Amino acid sequence: MVTLNSFLVLGALVFCIGLFGALSKRNAVAILMSIEIMLNAVNISLVAYASTFQSYAGAGHGERLTGQIFAIFIITVAAAEAAVALAMIIAIYRRRSTIDVGQINLMRW
């Protein structure tokens, strides 16, 4: 029997795998891929909540699909963020010939 807990545990696992990738990789594009994995895991949790409460019509607003609307906006903003981040990575590569985040450390204390 697949309950809401199964989807939430799946979302938590995938989020933590993405978090490990974002914290430990050296290539900037690999860090961006791990961030996309984290955003997908959050979307899974939101849509799981939306489908659990879809038959709850409270306060006269009709059926609530709030999690799915939130997921649409997260997909939109994640796509925009991926475009800007990859443009920055390409610009950095043009200047420094490297995208190793250990070597792009001019602002490091």
Residues 42-101 that bind other proteins (CB under 8 A): 43-44, 47-48, 50-55, 61-63, 65, 68-69, 71-73, 75-84, 86-91, 93-94, 97-101
- Of 99, 75, 97, 96, nearest to 86 (Cα)? 99
Minimum distance, C-beta of residue 39 to other proteins, in the bound complex (Å): 9
Cβ contact 63:55 at 8 Å: yes
Does 40 bind other proteins (CB under 8 A)? Our answer is yes
Cβ-based neighbours of 80, under 8 Å, separated by 6 or more: none
- Return the number of the residue (102 or 106) whose C-beta is nearest other proteins: 102
- Return the number of the residue (73 or 106) whose C-beta is nearest other proteins: 73
CA distance 32 to 38: 10
